Structure 1
Amino acid sequence: MAEWQKTLLIDIVNLIGGGTPKTSKAEYWGGNINWLSVKDFNNENRYVYFTEKTITEEGLNNSSTKLLKRDDIIISARGTVGELAMIPFPMAFNQSCYGIRAKEGIDNTFLYYLIKNSVRKLKAMTHGSVFDTITRDTFANIEVAIPDTQMQHRIAKMLVAIDDKIENNQRINNNLEHQMETLFRSLFVENVNSAWQEGVLSDLGTIVAGGTPSKAKPKYYAEHGIAWITPKDLSLNKSKFISHGENDISELGFSKSSTTKMPAGTVLFSSRAPIGYIAIAANELTTNQGFKSVVPNENIGTAFMYFLLKWLLPTIERMASGSTFKEISGTGMKSVPVVIPDDKTIAQFNDFCSPIFQQQEILEAENIRLSNIRDALLPKLMSGELDVSDIDL
């Protein structure tokens, strides 16, 4: 560490500003240039591969947005600050982000992890009266220590090995998910049996709302108590299976609120702000009032209900109401129209999905462990506390 050079973050990066082509100019949009905004970030991957919108060469040339190169870095700088990713191929981006390009002598991937380790400091130094903002001055107030190029490569390689394993597990799970979705569409959408009966969602399971113990009563919450899930937990945790949220509640808190204990296999469905976060309870748990979850009937099963709710999401959104934000009520959720397949076809689908669900849950658990290991190693590697010069990579 004594040989590492102390410097300011601003001195080792080139910051690049983004921009938005005029939305009134149709000829600026829908081209072959990816245009990245904050909503495109995906914290599960080091790289951002997909963007919701694209722009044309004309849009690029007639706006302040710039093209980032492969292995440049992008950070969200306004509103939701500190989301971080690397660029796999040239992309443009909007003004709510900064592009970051390593200066000579700085390894791009090492820089990515260095900034990732500094995100908490960056967030603590945000400006803005309306919403948090990272400015160029923010980067000028972050001191970092930089090893020689060889050590940068070694540290980056060590962290990349972990992230590559995480991303590979995600690719496997995504592929498995696609296979199950394809079978669901084939069995229950494209080849609906005319003999199947029409019904409503409550015919297939019990709709369960949640509740929140008083936040003014600390004794209603516990460090290791009853699992209690909020929509925020599902926004932060992209896993399909969830066992605990940010907070647990105590037995006293449970008894003093309207929340309900639901068994493992319950399909959680956020009913407001936003509608449509979907996850599966990995164990007994409770939720706040932002859910209308479904405990599937025994003959229906978790897998069928999970994919059914994903398929029904557009219908549920249309049925929602509210002036401040859209919400689907308990009555509305119960009355969502469905076609009820025969038990044999549902069982066929559930039997196909059961071992896949088990594998997905195993891979998600492994990714959580790997993420925890990476996050524990990151500050130690970036401070020089851990010496990796003799590790065979």
Structure 2
Amino acid sequence: MSYEKWTETSLEEITSVLGDGLHGTPAYSENGEYYFINGNNLKDGRIVTNEKTKRASKDEYLKHKRKLNHRTILVSINGTLGNIAIYNGEKVFLGKSVCYFNLIEDVDKDYVKYLLLSSYFQNYINSLATGTTIKNVSLQLMRKFTFKLPPLPIQRKIGQILSFLDDKIELNRQMNETLEQIAQAIFKHWFIDFEFPDENGEPYRSSGGEMVDSELGEIPVGWEVGTIEDICDSINSGGTPSRKNNDFWNNGNIPWFKTGELHDEPLMDSKEKITQAGLSNSSCKLWPKGTIVFALYASPTVGKLGILTKPATSNQAAAGLIVKPEYGIPFLKRVLLEIRPKIQNIATGAAQQNINLKILKSYKVIIPNSKVSRKYSNLMLGLDNQQIENKRENVLLEKIRDSILPKLMSGQIRVK
């Protein structure tokens, strides 16, 4: 069937209910089993929560719950616009920045999810949102969103094609998560519990390895207390070329990262790029491949990091750390992840919730002898390289998905 024969419809016509979450603040409970989520908890089609997501009791949930079910799709409509998630029975209840709707049975849920991820819907809500500082999309605007709907078999086929790509992306993401958990578990076993292999291949501390006192507690003999700066060749911050000079930005080919792009993953490419002139006429530094980019500003971003897979730079809200070869990138990465909660506490206690280079450089850590740190880094190198390959494949799959999505939705690519 040609695109012209698809049915013109609206979101209101294909949903049994459409509403939003609580306009207010629930009574939070640290040990509550239900998460209170808003638009920033919706990401890549999933509901994402972490240790900072507010919780509430079952009684509080029951007071404010909405009628979510296996046909529910969530959309962020306040502040951050257009984030999408499928509800899969998670123990959550919604804040006002989340719109929810339940689809009628003769509409494919995956098809509608991808329709909402398309530029057609995203342009619709962003162009018609109200508010200057905080953008808002009304429920009425959501209901009146109109689009062409193909017959159900075609909806399902389009949903299957796009879901196949997303399933592979999700598999790679989960694999990277598992690889990172393994690397961190070994790091803690070696450098927190001090059970690294001794000369006989036995766990050091439990095999009677000699320990000495330090200002950070007992440490293996031959180890020392030092600073982050002691295990790096250099630590410096990035910069921002003047936005007023187009020569610094137009047709740029040097990756320029912002802290919002740091997600503890390999850094493949940046959203913005600068020119050589922009690099030369600003405080930006061109860091080499393998540099760890570390966020300095704005809780909860403080402490987020990424590892460059090619030469790049960043804005002044991040620092670039180049590790000394005898310690290795894998070792420095897990040191930074291990100290992050304490770094974030320092930032949270500050007026602007930032840290500076001095705090990062002088932060005290336990420094092992280089033989042990080098052994750890060599052991983890294969895991970290696999994470890079998985991330690289995901970037390619996302490009394919994003290129065919609008063509499938507009009937340019026909399916049978």
> Are 1:155 and 2:183 counterparts?
no
How many angstroms does 1:255 deviate by?
A: 1.4
Contact 1:60 1:66 in 2 (8 A): no
Q: CA offsets per residue over residues 48-75 of structure 1, 9 Å max, x none?
A: 2646344444213323x31411241111
Whether 1:197 aligns to 2:224 is yes
Q: CA deviation at 1:225?
A: 2.3
SS of 1:275's partner is coil
Aligned counterpart for 1:293 among listed residues 317, 320, 343: 320
- Alpha-carbon separation, structure 1, partners of 2:145 and 2:26: 36
Are the counterparts in 2 of residues 21 and 59 from structure 1 also a CA contact under 8 Å? no
1:80-99 aligned at under 5 Å gives the runs 80-89=80-89, 91-99=92-100
Shift of 1:32: 3.7
Equivalent of residue 375 in structure 1, options 402, 407, 410 = 402
Per the TM alignment, residue 116 of structure 1 is displaced from its structure 2 partner at its CA by 1.6
Deviation at 1:219, TM superposition (A): 0.6
Mapped contact 1:107–1:149 kept (Cα < 8 A): yes
Bigger Cα displacement from structure 2, 50-59 vs 333-342? 50-59
DSSP 3-state at the match of 1:269:
strand
Partner of 2:113: 112
> For residues 239-388 of structure 1, what are the structure 2 equivalents within 5 Å?
240-273=265-298, 274-320=301-347, 325-388=352-415
* Distance verdict in 2 for CA 1:38–1:177, change over 3 Å: same
Distance in 2 of aligned mates of 1:70 and 1:141: 23
The 1-side partners of 2:237 and 2:287 are apart by 10
Percent same amino acid at aligned positions?
Answer: 24
Amino acid in the other structure paired with 1:245:
S
Q: Counterpart of 2:205?
A: none
> What amino acid is aligned across from residue 312 of structure 1 in structure 2?
I
Distance 1:49 1:209 in 2: 30
Measure, in 2, the Cα distance between the counterparts of 1:364 and 1:5. Answer: 38
CA displacement at 1:320 relative to structure 2: 4.2
* Gap regions ≥5 residues in structure 2: 195-218
Q: After the TM superposition, which of the residue ranges 72-81 and 100-109 deviates more from structure 2?
A: 100-109
Q: Tell me the matched-pair count.
A: 381
Cα distance change of structure 1 residues 56 and 278 upon mapping to structure 2, 3 Å threshold: same
Cα distance, 1:266 vs structure 2: 0.8
- After TM superposition, the score normalised by the length of structure 1 is 0.90
Distance in 1 (CA, whole Å) between partners of 2:132 and 2:268 is: 37
Deviation at 1:181, TM superposition (A): 0.5
Q: Pairwise mapping of residues 24-43 of structure 1 onto structure 2 (< 5 A)?
A: 24=27, 30-43=31-44
Per-residue deviation, 1:369: 0.8
2:124 aligns with one of 110, 121, 124? 121
Residues 264, 305 of structure 2: 8 Å contact kept: no
Separation (CA, whole Å) in 2 of partners of 1:9 and 1:67: 17
CA separation in 1, counterparts of 2:326 and 2:14? 60
Equivalence map 1:207-226=2 (5 Å): 207-226=235-254
**Which stretch has the larger CA shift, 46-55 or 84-93?**
46-55
Q: Is the CA contact 1:77–1:97 (under 8 Å) kept in the aligned structure 2? A: yes
Match of 1:216, as an amino acid? Answer: K
Relative distance call for 1:57 and 1:209 in structure 2 (3 A) is: closer
CA offsets, 1:294-318, max 9 Å, x none?
Answer: 1101111111111111111123234
1:173 paired residue among 172, 176, 188:
176
Equivalent pair of 1:321/1:328 in contact (CA under 8 Å)? no
Aligned letter for 1:154? K
Deviation sequence 1:275-309 (CA, Å, 0-9, x none):
11200011111222111221101111111111111
Structure 1 residue 322 displacement after superposition: 8.4
| C-alpha distance in 2 between matches for 1:67 and 1:336 | 49
Please report how far the alpha carbon of residue 3 of structure 1 lies from its aligned counterpart in structure 2 after TM superposition. 2.4
User: Structure 1 residues 307-316 or 186-195, which shifts more?
Assistant: 186-195
8 Å Cα contact 1:213/1:220 also seen in 2: yes
Q: Deviation per CA, 1:345-376: give whole Å up to 9, x if none.
A: 11111111111111111110110111111111
**Paired AA for residue 230 in structure 1:** K
Instruction: Give the equivalent residue in structure 2 for 1:66.
Output: 66
Give the TM-score normalised by the residue count of structure 2. Answer: 0.85
Moved more, 161-170 or 133-142: 133-142
Kept after mapping to 1: 8 A contact 2:268/2:392: no
- Could you say if the C-alpha distance between residues 144 and 224 of structure 1 is closer, same or farther in structure 2, counting changes exceeding 3 Å? same
- Runs (4 or more) in structure 1 with deviation over 6 Å come to none
Match of 1:146 in 2: 149
Q: Is the 8 A contact 2:46 2:87 kept in 1?
A: yes
Aligned position for 1:4: 6
Pairwise mapping of residues 37-52 of structure 1 onto structure 2 (< 5 A)? 37-43=38-44, 46-48=45-47, 50=49, 52=53
Q: Distance in 2 between matches of 1:150 and 1:337?
A: 61
Cα 1:30–1:365, aligned 2, differ >3 Å: closer, same or farther?
same
SS in 1 for 2:316: coil
